[in-house]
Amino acid sequence: MKVLCSVFLCLCGYSIIAQSLPAQVISTSGDNFMKTNGSLEWTLGEIMIESYSRPVGFLTQGFQQPSKVTITNIERDIENGIAVYPNPVREVLFVKITEAGTYTIELFNLLGQRVVNENSIVQSTSHTQEVAVQALSAAMYLLRVTNISSGKNSIQKIEKH
């Protein structure tokens, strides 16, 4: 009888290991779109998620996880001679200015509150201003670079990770 019970328990354990469960999420909404050149998956209202950031790494919880952070582009405003990189940014945002003048560099959150305000005097045709953003929370921001001398503006969307 002992042998029969042991064999039965082993077979039950084997059948449990053979099963696989698909990934599931509880949220208010979501969808999955697939085309030949890519796919898009999104969820809205996921419960019980949180993100942790430490100097050694970044941990996100939840069903949708980024595979890696890539720099998508370097925004160039040719008319005003301004390039902003990297975007998305983690710690330092570089604003390259190629036209001499006095500049104001401002970063706004999406509530319209100014979170960074720096002034820069550019005397050469190639100046790179570093804007420290490591203290800001991960979100979307608007960067406004104003040439006070000429009155030209450049506004660009910045993503902070």
In 3D space, the residue among 71, 100, 101 whose CA is nearest the CA of residue 84 turns out to be 71
Query: Range of 61's domain?
Result: 21-67
User: What pLDDT is recorded for position 161?
Assistant: 86
Q: Is residue 105 located within the same domain as residue 151?
A: yes
What value does the mean pLDDT of the chain take?
A: 80
Convert the pLDDT of each residue in 122-159 to its tens digit. 888 788 999 999 999 999 999 999 988 888 888 899 99
Q: Is residue 63 located within the same domain as residue 93?
A: no
What is the DSSP code (8-state) at residue 109?
E
**Distance from C-alpha of 4 to C-alpha of 12, rounded to nearest angstrom:** 12
**Distance from C-alpha of 88 to C-alpha of 146, rounded to nearest angstrom:** 21
Q: Is residue 82 located within the same domain as residue 127?
A: yes
Comparing 80 with 159, the larger pLDDT belongs to 159
- State whether residue 60 is helix, strand or coil: strand
pLDDT band at residue 118 under the 50/70/90 scheme: very high
User: What is the pTM for the complete model shown?
Assistant: 0.53
Q: Is residue 83 located within the same domain as residue 147?
A: yes
Q: Is residue 107 located within the same domain as residue 38?
A: no
Q: What is the CATH number of the domain that holds 155?
A: 2.60.40.3080
Give how many domains the chain has, as a whole number. Answer: 2
Please name the helix (run of DSSP H) or strand (run of DSSP E) that holds residue 127, with its range, or none: strand 127-132
- State whether residue 154 is helix, strand or coil: strand
